[in-house]
Amino acid sequence: MTNSEFEIPEERVVVTGIGVVLPGTLSVDRFWANISGGRSQVGRLTRFDAEQAGLPVYAAAEIDDFDHHPFLPELTDAHAAKYSREILITMSALAEARRDAGLGPGALDPRRLGIVMSSSRGPFGWWRDVLTGADPDAFGDKGAMFRGLPGCPASLSAVYTGAQGLVTTVSNACVGGHQAIQLALRELRSGAADAMLVGGHEFPIVPEVAACYRAMGHGVLSSEREDPSRAVRPYSNDREGFALGEGSVVLCLERESVARRRGARVYSEILSAASLNEAAHPTTMDLTGKVTASVIEDALASAGRRADDVDYFCAHGTATRYNDIAESRALRALYPERTTAALPPLSSNKPIYGHTFGLAGIINVAATSLMIHHQTLAPTINFTTPDPECDHDHVFEGPRPAELGLAVSMSFAFGSQTAVVALGAPA
């Protein structure tokens, strides 16, 4: 057995709750309406002055004014004043996931409830304001300790919800969300926990992050100016990169026996998760497709499934050339005997919510869980003429009814990393 796979005991792990705070999206129902209906939440960048920063960046998926009170009614204003916007949004997404799962007070032994979060950059915006002097009162109260730590959204959520199990935060670029799920699976399958709240939070819409990706050259960060909603165009010949997105999404994962005993609604089953560091190029994923295909095969094998069983792939889909062709080549490596037309369908939600880095894998798994629940595939919007390297079955025509029993979510990250999560329809 390698570190990218593990045996699945008899006990199954299921998704029973989804909490969402994303641009234009404050509920799981709205989330499904947006991704299935192809309603882009990418709009005009307002968070900073791009011209003043000397950046040709005009689009982003931004959360407008957010009120945490409906989500966190027991949080006093005195405590909330010590927290950051990032913390309050993440706590709200977690509270909503718990509510959606029906995990009210006393539903579980608090020592058997844990929290695992993923964030690529943590409270970068707060530290930026501190270091540039934009917030001269940053250290005006002891809340600075909360606002400056990347793990505080998880730990303060644990305080608010009473979770006394494992509480931690993963920071590993764009594979962090899938790795958080992998860590939670191990807690659940080892018997250490009955339920895990697993999520991500990312707030990268600041000039320094935009400048970081612009420095990588053309085609990484979109410079679409005329129609921001079309800024992200994965797999298309006219793609030009991604737009920055922000927010938090949290999943409630439970041991199936616990969920069934309390009569919980089940969206999907998490079958397996696998993660591999290719130990190769630090900024470019495997372009042969063979390494990614092997990680997918590992994840499926540990779930007792095969590639031929997969009905759908939820892509990383960043609308960057290397990412797009890497995913397409992985499909061809995974199915060497199939014609292009016979490859499983694939789609990306990045044109809806932008690129959210450490949160992206969680969004993927939430979206895939809902596709399984509704037996409908959500489309890749803004798809025009396909890149010839990516000419296969893209879901682009709108929501597509499907018999969806097995799906795979993919993610890639700087540092030569690949991670996947396999999901199935509940038994």
Q: pLDDT of 320-376, one tens digit each?
A: 999 999 999 999 999 999 998 899 999 999 999 999 999 999 999 999 999 999 999
- pLDDT tens digits, residue range 24-82? 999 999 999 999 999 999 999 999 999 999 999 999 999 999 999 999 999 999 999 99
Q: Name the 3-class secondary structure at 153.
A: helix
User: Tokens in use for 23?
Assistant: 């641009």
User: Tokens in use for 69?
Assistant: 């009170």
Reply yes or no on whether the pLDDT at 7 is more than 50. no
What is the length of the chain? 427
User: Tokens in use for 254?
Assistant: 């439970």
> In this structure, are residues 378 and 349 in contact, taking their beta carbons and an 8 Å threshold?
yes
Query: How far, rounded to the nearest angstrom, does the alpha carbon of residue 331 sit from its chain's CA centroid?
Result: 21
Reply yes or no on whether the pLDDT at 217 is more than 80. yes
**CB contact set of 266 (below 8 Å; sequence gap of 6+):** 14, 15, 16, 256, 259, 426
Q: How far, CA to CA in Å, does 401 sit from each of 83, 373, 375, 379, 404?
A: 43, 12, 6, 11, 9
**CB contact set of 189 (below 8 Å; sequence gap of 6+):** 6, 8, 9, 11, 13
> In this structure, are residues 2 and 255 in contact, taking their beta carbons and an 8 Å threshold?
no
Q: CATH 3.40.47.10 occupies which residues in the chain?
A: 13-268, 272-424
Average pLDDT over residues 15-21: 98
Which phi-psi region, left, alpha or beta, contains residue 315 (left: φ > 0; alpha: ψ -120 to 50)?
Answer: beta
pLDDT at 43: 98
The amino acid that residue 236 corresponds to is: S
- pLDDT tens digits, residue range 81-104? 999 999 999 999 999 999 999 999
**Would you tell me how many other CB atoms lie within 10 Å of the CB of residue 214?**
19
- What is the share, in percent, of the chain residues with pLDDT greater than 70? 97
Average of per-residue pLDDT values in the chain: 94
Reply yes or no on whether the pLDDT at 1 is more than 70. no
Helical pair 321-334 and 290-302, crossing angle rounded to 10 deg: 60
- What is the share, in percent, of the chain residues with pLDDT greater than 90? 89
Query: How far, rounded to the nearest angstrom, does the alpha carbon of residue 148 sit from its chain's CA centroid?
Result: 23
Q: Which of 87, 42, 71 is nearest to 79 (CA)?
A: 87
Give the pLDDT band (50/70/90) at residue 8.
Answer: very low
Q: Which of 67, 64, 58, 59 is nearest to 24 (CA)?
A: 64
d(Cα 245, Cα 104) in Å, to the nearest integer? Answer: 31
Query: How far, rounded to the nearest angstrom, does the alpha carbon of residue 217 sit from its chain's CA centroid?
Result: 25
pLDDT at 9: 46
User: Tokens in use for 76?
Assistant: 């006093």
Q: Which residues are catalytic?
A: 174, 316, 355
pLDDT at 415: 67
d(Cα 82, Cα 62) in Å, to the nearest integer? Answer: 23
Q: Which CATH architecture has domain 13-268?
A: 3-Layer(aba) Sandwich (3.40)
Reply yes or no on whether the pLDDT at 379 is more than 70. yes
**CB contact set of 391 (below 8 Å; sequence gap of 6+):** 340
Give the pLDDT band (50/70/90) at residue 10.
Answer: low
Query: Is the overall model pTM greater than 0.85, yes or no?
Result: yes
- pLDDT tens digits, residue range 272-300? 999 998 777 777 778 899 999 999 999 99
Q: Angle CA(93)–CA(179)–CA(417) in degrees, nearest 5? A: 130
pLDDT at 2: 44
Q: Which residue has the tokens 């339920």?
A: 195
- pLDDT tens digits, residue range 122-174? 999 999 999 999 999 889 888 898 999 999 999 999 999 999 999 999 999 99
Helical pair 152-161 and 85-101, crossing angle rounded to 10 deg: 50
User: Tokens in use for 80?
Assistant: 């909330």
Domain 272-424: which CATH class? Answer: alpha beta
Q: Angle CA(9)–CA(11)–CA(12) in degrees, nearest 5? A: 110
Question: Which stretches of 215-250 are DSSP H helices?
Answer: none
pLDDT at 126: 93
d(Cα 330, Cα 377) in Å, to the nearest integer? Answer: 20
d(Cα 188, Cα 173) in Å, to the nearest integer? Answer: 24
User: Tokens in use for 190?
Assistant: 């080892």
